[in-house]
Structure 1
Amino acid sequence: MSHTLARRLAVAGGAGLLAVALATPLPAQAQPSDQQRQQDFANAAKEFGVPVGVLLGVSYLESRWDYNAGTPSTAAGYGPMHLTDLRTAGVVTNEFAGDTEDPRGDDARPALRPKVTQPAAPPPSLQTVDEAAALLHTDAATVRSDPAQNIRGGAALLAEYQRELGVRSEDAKEWYGAVAKYSGSDDVAAARTFADEVYDTIKTGVARTTDDGQAVKLAPASDVTPDTKQADALGLRADAPPATECPKTVACESVPAPYQELPDGDYGNHDIANRPQSQKIDTIVIHDTEGYWADALTLAQDPTYLAWHYTVRSQDGLIAQHVPTKDVGWHAGNWYVNAKSIGVEHEGFAAQGTWYTEAMYRSSAKLVGYLAKRYGVPLDRAHIIGHDNVPGTTPATIAGMHWDPGPYWDWSHYFDLLGAPIKATGRPGSSMVTVAPKFAANRPVFTGCDKIGSGNACAARGSEAVVLHTAPDASSPLLSDVGLHGTGASTMDVSDVGSRVATGQQYAVAGHQGGWTAIWYLGQKGWLPSSTVVPATGLVATPKPGKATIPVYGRAFPEASAYPANVTVQALAPMPYTLAAGQKYAVGGIVPSEYYSATTFDVADHVVVRGKMKYVEVQFGHRVEYLNLDDVVLKPAF
């Protein structure tokens, strides 16, 4: 008998019970096809002696019970129980390696070039599929690909963790320690946060239909009060709470980025500032790391490179703060955006790993909601943006801008967690719409998830992105993006945002035909199914009478006369797009013209240049852009 089997025998209390624990799943009873996953949870819970509410709660916090087309999460997790296998998931790199985007995005300083780093070894906690497979006497591929076996594997792991703690009980409140260990956390605060979220879910209950059409329900159990002291027996790190800018409801640690002087007058890896007294923080930028947690933290601590404000870990939602929010991180590739934003990185991959854990979504939403309230940042898609929505600074930088967190980040669910659901705000026939596809049912077939530009189809799965066409016909070509492709059409490559809109973004309506709606996009009419948008209200910007075209800008810099003699004037640099008379674009807000001059290590030399010009932020394409307020008329959309 193997050591694992011997341990299982001890907890089962006899060979007879052990045989039950290692048996194949219970025979399926006659039931509706959409109830199979509910039955799989019930069978696995009974087989391994795990309270079914605990099993459902853990799975919900990992995957929301979804199958995700058998693809790995951004933390190498598979199936409803998020069993992890690093051998088959994302390629380890970092978000800024191998491309041309200058994350600082400031013409007044030398470009910060991409840096190739040697990735750290992934932690053992991200390799749970093998232990689960051993407990089930099967192979890793089966546990990854078969939802029922995946659920059995998760139940087996929870039972094993419970046995290791020496707790014998079928009461859900006695499983807190096992749930905390399932998080994979290496510190007790993060493990507790994960377990607390699971038990909050158990108390409130939840019901939903999964991405593959399974109806699953966790009935509320408001009387379940777990024994939280069990987490102390896990032997995890118990560091003193660090000084961070995080809400109390998340696990947050300080991993500070160094502000350090370097040779040849250079310095890194962020800029000292005094926000919001010096400049208003009006944007929060959502990123993904394109690598694992350890590598992201190593990069943020490199004094010769770059840093952002926060990183969120996938497996348990642990947050690390690197840069104080008063200071300016180098993360968005656009200095105007950097100077007025907070950057939040999320462990994972925009393409090779295609879904984000519920633990990460919840922790991130709590952080972003806290920051938005603290700094008065509106909870909308003009101010809570992806890195893929940040504009290039000049025509030359457009093609190198990033596209994370990618088309598989669920903006609709994220805004639900923020308490600002994306929904209709206008009447039918409104001249403005909000993009709002049904995530699970919206399955555009992108290419290149294995390797950008490969042309190989990605797995068909839910997406927040809707593709635009040149005519009200799904077989018509995609739009062109002159900044990305010149006169060529955009593609379905997962990284190509030239003819793509995102959930929550708002656009001015340009027409209707059949079941299609046209919107103004990059100076063109882009067509999308009317079922993917809802009516909205707000302001639209259009050129003033008499102006045939007006310039579009990627940053809201001041007029030349606003700069003091000791600060180099920053060119306004119009973008290569055309905004012609008659076209309209949804307004995200009116913003001041500002330039934060920070080119030396000595903070005393830093100065905010403010101009008389004002700009209008508009949703011009997939990315936001800026218009001179003097060039436009603002009109209400009903």
Structure 2
Amino acid sequence: MVLRLMLSVVLAAAAPLVPADPAPTAVFGAAAARYDVPRDLLLSVGYAQSRLDQTASGQVGAHGIMQLTDAATLPSAAALTGLPQRELRTGLAANVSGAAAVLRSYADAEGLSAVARSDVNRWFGAVARFSGAADPAVARLFADTVFAQLASGFAAGPFDVPGRPVAPDRGKLAAVPAWGSGDVGIMSADYGPAVWAPADPGNYTVSNRTTSYPVNYVVIHMTQGSYAGSISWFQNPASNVSAHYIFRSSDGAVTQAVREKDIAYHAGNWDYNTRSIGIEHEGFVDNPAWFTDAMYRASAALTRNLTTKYGIPRDRAHIIGHREVPGATHTDPGPNWNWTYYMQLVNGVTGTGSGTVDTASTNLNVRGGPGTGFAVVGTVADGAAVTVWCQAAGTTVTGTFGTSNVWNRIGTGRWVSDTYVRTGYNGFIPGVPRC
């Protein structure tokens, strides 16, 4: 293993240094070619880590588009590439190149030949190790996420990776149950949909809050990192942090890390910690791509459950953001969190609408917000079926069904004018939340 790692260092040292910061699409191609890592695999790791956002400011000690960590991947990347850590933290090309070098070193450690490296399915073990998770189940969760993204395809900014068949070779991790099944499928005793994955005992205080402390608040957080990374961080005895629940962005899956009766270390204020349930949501405060309808709705269902169980009023005085905790130094859940939408869901306004696009033949532009002043982010075909998650007033438009200022959100950051969607209603749909 040492010989292989030394060989990786020699290969890196012999290669030319990474250019300043070329176009993002070129960065991944160059790093993939230099270290013989499949390009789309490298992109999928970055998508799982940051939604391919170099400005992502992660959990303590995680940096850039690939979320290189001070504790593991960053020093390894520096040794393998010869680049200074400060450049690896902040430079796009350096950050991606560093991650590619580390992934290649892990593939070398597993004995992958050049032929094996050409098969994306053989990289599962290297990707799992890149997660930095000490728990094999969490490492597998991260790698499963990366390969599931390859299977489904994903898009972010200039990147559009189409889906393809995958059959990952999980190696020794094949014996580790998938998240939500087998031994890892022990479900929460507090909330049925949640998988139970306890935080390190040093990261919370055992209590009995049915008799010791009243639960008066639900505190909403953003993880500033990935779902698997956050579960792993709560299991790390050095972190000294935890929350009761963590939600995944893509589908609203939920893991519980601390029992509701116990005191999680999430609010940065002991008094509020003793009297609240902390809920983390996968993502970064500055990137609305993480704020999916699936996550909002799953989180709101838990908050409805908690408010019923503990008699917490369903209002903004008792369902608060981390930034609203007295003395808080954090800004989460940030300006992209839609409190209007979330509180309607918590209070039972949970309907969705269905409709059919009707433009009389042409594609319909999809906007990044509720109005013609927002950028076009895609199109939907005439006759396409859409789900309306929520609605808002915006620019007045005249279309197939008259003139209206109602806009329908049909996905995260995706809006169309209601005047081009046949929903069975003229304007706002009863039971569908307002955005």
Structure 1: distance between partners of 2:223 and 2:244: 13
- Answer yes or no: is the 8 Å Cα contact 1:61–1:197 preserved in 2: yes
**SS across alignment from 1:287:** strand
CA, structure 1 residues 206+313, in 2 after alignment: closer, same or farther (shift >3 Å)? Answer: closer
Distance 1:295 1:347 in 2: 21
1:289, 1:296 → 2: CA distance? 17
Matched, 1:78 2:63: yes
> Secondary structure at 1:40's aligned position in 2?
helix
Distance 1:44 1:147 in 2: 11
Whole-angstrom CA distance in 2 between matches of 1:41 and 1:188: 28
* Partner Cα distance (1:226, 1:384) in 2: 45
Distance (Å, rounded) in 2 between the aligned partners of 1:155 and 1:421: 44
Q: Counterpart in 2 of 1:45?
A: 32
- The counterpart of 2:121, out of the listed 159, 173, 177, is 173
Report the equivalent of 1:185.
Answer: 133
Q: Please give the alpha-carbon distance, in whole angstroms, between the structure 2 residues aligned to 1:45 and 1:375.
A: 46
> Match for residue 575 of structure 1?
none
- Whichever residue aligns with residue 26 of structure 2, its letter is Q
Offset of 1:286 from its aligned partner?
1.4
Shift of 1:7: 2.2
- Code of the residue aligned with 1:155 in structure 2: it is A
* Matching residue within 392, 405, 415 for 2:332: 405
Question: Where does residue 24 of structure 1 map in the other structure?
Answer: 16
- Indicate conservation of the 8 Å contact 1:42/1:52, yes or no: yes
Equivalent position to 1:220, from 163, 186, 190: 163
Deviation string, structure 1 residues 344-400 (Cα, Å, up to 9, x no partner): 1469998xxx77997x999977963773697899xx99799642587x9xxxxxx76
> How far, CA to CA, are the matches of 2:255 and 2:46 in structure 1?
21
Say whether 1:56 aligns with 2:43: yes
Compared CA separation, residues 385 and 46, structure 1 to 2 (3 A) = farther
- Give the counterpart letter for 2:136 in structure 1: V
- The answer for the alignment partner of 1:204 in structure 2 is 152
Q: What letter is aligned with 1:23? A: A
Residues 151 and 371 (structure 1 numbering): CA distance in 2 closer, same or farther, change over 3 Å?
same
Q: Secondary structure at the match of 1:344?
A: strand
How big is the shift at 1:174?
A: 0.5
Contact 1:312 1:363 in 2 (8 A): no
Q: Which secondary structure does the structure 2 equivalent of 1:253 belong to?
A: coil
Q: Deviations over 1:555-582 (max 9, x none)?
A: xxxxxxxxxxxxxxxxxxxxxxxxxxxx
CA contact (8 A) 1:355 1:408 kept: no
The residue aligned with 1:387 is 321
User: Does the CA-based 8 Å contact 1:74-1:347 persist in structure 2?
Assistant: no
**Contact 1:75 / 1:348 at 8 angstroms: preserved in 2?**
no
Q: Report how many residues are paired.
A: 338
Q: What is aligned with 2:84?
A: 139
The correspondence for 2:257, drawn from 304, 314, 321, is 321
Q: 1:286 aligns with which of 210, 213, 220?
A: 220
Report which of the two structures shows the higher radius of gyration computed on alpha carbons: 1
Matched, 1:229 2:164: no
Question: Would you say the 8 A contact 1:252–1:321 is kept in 2?
Answer: yes
Matched with 2:97 is 152
- Contact persistence 2:121–2:168 (CA under 8 A): yes
C-alpha contact 1:386 1:405 (8 A) present in aligned 2: no
1:78: how far off? 1.6
Cα separation, 2, equivalents of 1:400 and 1:54: 42
Following the alignment from structure 1 to structure 2, what is the Cα–Cα distance between the partners of residues 361 and 257?
A: 32
Higher relative contact order (CA 8 A, sep 6+): 1
1:97-496 correspondence runs (5 A) = 124=71, 127-168=72-113, 169=116, 170-209=118-157, 215-221=158-164, 223-231=165-173, 242-244=186-188, 252-253=197-198, 258-259=206-207, 268=212, 270=213, 285-287=219-221, 293=234, 294=236, 309-310=244-245, 319-324=255-260, 342-345=277-280, 368=299, 371=302, 386-387=320-321, 404-407=331-334
TM-score normalised according to structure 2 size: 0.56
Output the CA distance in 1 between the equivalents of 2:103 and 2:237: 29
Instruction: Report the Cα offset of residue 133 of structure 1.
Output: 1.1
Change beyond 3 A, Cα 1:295–1:53: same
Residues 508, 312 of structure 1: CA spacing in aligned structure 2 closer, same or farther, 3 A cutoff?
closer
CA RMSD in angstroms comes to: 6.1
Shift of 1:145: 1.7
3-state SS of paired residue (1:60): helix
Contact 2:194 2:255 in 1 (8 A): no
Deviation at 1:181, TM superposition (A): 0.8
1:323 Cα shift?
2.2
Question: Following TM superposition, by how much is the alpha carbon of 1:259 offset from its aligned partner in structure 2, in angstroms?
Answer: 2.8
CA contact (8 A) 1:242 1:253 kept: no
Matches of 1:368 and 1:20 in 2, distance apart?
A: 45
CA shift in 2, pair 1:409/1:260, >3 Å: same
Aligned identity (percent) is 26
Query: Could you report, residue by residue, the CA deviation over 1:512-567 in whole angstroms, capped at 9, with x for unpaired residues?
Result: xxxxxxxxxxxxxxxxxxxx9x999599xxxxxxxxxxxxxxxxxxxxxxxxxxxx
- Asked if the contact 2:187/2:195 (under 8 Å) is kept, the reply is no
Alignment-mate amino acid for residue 136 of structure 1: T
Go from structure 1 to structure 2 and tell me whether the alpha carbon gap of 1:128 and 1:19 turns closer, same or farther (over 3 Å shift).
closer
Q: Structure 2 vs 1, CA of residues 249 and 331 (structure 1 numbering), >3 Å: closer, same or farther?
A: closer
Aligned letter for 1:162? A
